[in-house]
Amino acid sequence: MTEQLKSQFTERIIELQQRISSIHKDFAGGRHADWSEQAGERENDEVLNALESEAKVEIQHLANAITRMGNGSYGICQTCGEEISQQRLQVQPAAEKCIQCAD
């Protein structure tokens, strides 16, 4: 089960890294000379920045989960040391905290 999760997490990390790479390519594409087009592009840049930030955070959570799998602490709350419920791990497989500590 842990190896399957590691594989899924690794695949997701690769997807997210590809998304970040695509965002960087979009930024490198330059901007329009038309002012009205530039206004739309600036709004688009804000969305892309937010997507990039979210992707980086998710990558970090997944990498941390893989590390915890390797050292045997996966599924253990990082705050209280209690076991994280299977229901929570099914919804959020990279969860670092039990539901009580996450609140």
pLDDT, one tens digit per residue, over 33-42 is 666 666 666 7
Residue 32, pLDDT above cutoff 90: no
- Domain containing 60: what range? 2-72
If we measure between CA atoms, which residue out of 22, 103, 91, 98 comes closest to residue 55? 22
Considering the domain architecture, whether residues 67 and 90 belong to the same structural domain is answered as no
Backbone angles phi, psi at 34, to 5 degrees: -70, 130
Considering the domain architecture, whether residues 66 and 84 belong to the same structural domain is answered as no
Considering the domain architecture, whether residues 12 and 48 belong to the same structural domain is answered as yes
CA 21 – CA 18 distance, rounded (Å): 5
Considering the domain architecture, whether residues 88 and 103 belong to the same structural domain is answered as yes
In degrees, rounded to 5, the angle at the alpha carbon of residue 78 between the alpha carbons of residues 72 and 63 is 60
Whether the model clears a pTM of 0.85, i.e. scores above it, the answer is no
Considering the domain architecture, whether residues 68 and 99 belong to the same structural domain is answered as no
The residue with greater pLDDT, 91 or 44, is 91
Considering the domain architecture, whether residues 56 and 68 belong to the same structural domain is answered as yes
Considering the domain architecture, whether residues 99 and 58 belong to the same structural domain is answered as no
Considering the domain architecture, whether residues 61 and 87 belong to the same structural domain is answered as no
DSSP structure class, residue 83: B
Backbone angles phi, psi at 83, to 5 degrees: -70, 140
